[in-house]
């Protein structure tokens, strides 16, 4: 495992890329409503990235070993889709939940973030899942400091999520990020406190827990990308890119419209 410790120059460029990724989500938020298709959301985001920001959509034609090139510029995962949902003709309807996962490249550096959206009036079940997933991400972020371990992050997320009866997806995880989309280390959202890679200043990685309302088992769809819950239960995900600082963390994927830290965590800070 080769973990790239970022320089001050790297970090400055990662701050820019992270903010720009978050600003794509700010831009697209008013369009996420009943009647729009996921393909239309993809096109709007693509045009904003390329024509307004001057960024490159990292997912477009991304092709890790064993995959076909990803055909779109964002990922749109609706309801029981866990991650990597491919935008298409599917129209959002009232009550849907959707994760929009945005990764941009600016000056060779990646910014990666995602948010959940509830279309119209969501059910209490859907709202609760989205909120607890958001809180779980933050619980994980709050563990980040030099001397802690990645196991501390995963264990805290797992304990919190499971206390609400949700399951944590294990096949997909957070990851190091920089000039490459996916770098070491892998950031599991479950595990044992005190285990795993020790955190040191200058590490940058994503924390992006995926929680299912039902069982954790997954299934890959025929498109080779979209991952769904095997039992068809709802799934939610939130993601930030995080820097390990001298004495804690800095979130790099923040912008004017970024949802604030949950009140229950802010109050205890």
> Over the chain (269 residues), what is each successive 10-residue block's mean pLDDT?
95 98 98 98 98 98 94 98 97 98 98 98 96 98 98 98 97 97 97 97 98 96 96 98 98 98 76
Spatial CB neighbours of 186, under 8 Å, sequence gap ≥ 6: 173, 174, 175
Q: What is the pLDDT of residue 262?
A: 93
**Prior bond of 185 cis (ω within 30°):** yes
As a whole number, the mean pLDDT across the chain is 97
Asked if 215 and 233 touch (Cβ cutoff 8 Å), the reply is: yes
pTM of the predicted model as reported, rounded to 2 decimal places: 0.96
Q: What is the pLDDT of residue 139?
A: 98
Closest CA to 239 of 221, 230, 252, 256: 252
Spatial CB neighbours of 112, under 8 Å, sequence gap ≥ 6: 18, 21, 58, 101, 102, 103, 177, 181, 206, 239, 241, 253
Phi and psi at residue 184, to the nearest 5°: -70, 150
Q: What is the pLDDT of residue 110?
A: 98
Structural domains present in the chain: 8-268 (3.90.230.10)
- The CA–CA distances, whole Å, from 256 to 25, 44, 51, 226 equal 10, 19, 20, 30
pLDDT digits (tens, 9 = 90+) for 201-252: 999 999 999 999 999 999 999 999 999 999 999 999 999 999 999 999 999 9
Helix-then-strand count for the chain, H and E: 5, 15
């Amino acid at each position: 495992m080769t973990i790239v410790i970022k320089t001050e120059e790297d970090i400055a460029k990662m701050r820019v890329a992270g903010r720009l990724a978050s600003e794509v989500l700010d831009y697209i938020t008013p369009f996420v409503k009943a009647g729009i298709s996921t393909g239309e959301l993809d096109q709007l985001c693509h045009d904003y990235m390329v024509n307004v920001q001057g960024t490159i959509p990292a997912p477009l034609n991304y092709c890790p070993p064993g995959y076909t090139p990803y055909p779109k510029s964002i990922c749109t995962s609706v309801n029981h889709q866990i991650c990597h949902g491919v935008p298409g003709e599917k129209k959002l309807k009232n009550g849907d939940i959707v994760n929009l996962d945005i990764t941009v490249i600016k000056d060779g550096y990646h910014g990666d973030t995602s948010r959940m959206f509830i279309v119209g009036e969501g059910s209490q079940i859907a709202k609760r899942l989205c909120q607890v997933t958001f809180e779980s991400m933050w619980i994980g972020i709050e563990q980040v400091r030099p001397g802690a371990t990645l196991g501390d992050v995963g264990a805290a997320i797992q304990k919190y999520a499971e206390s609400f009866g949700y399951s944590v997806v294990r096949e997909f995880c957070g990851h190091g990020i920089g000039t490459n989309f996916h770098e070491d280390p892998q950031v599991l959202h479950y595990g044992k406190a005190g285990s795993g890679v020790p955190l040191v200043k200058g590490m940058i990685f994503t924390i992006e827990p995926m929680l299912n309302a039902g069982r954790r088992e997954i299934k890959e769809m025929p498109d080779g990308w979209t991952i769904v819950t095997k039992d068809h239960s709802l799934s939610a995900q939130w993601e930030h890119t995080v820097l390990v600082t001298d004495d804690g963390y800095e979130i790099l994927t923040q912008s004017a419209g970024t949802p604030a830290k949950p009140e229950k965590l802010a109050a205890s800070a």
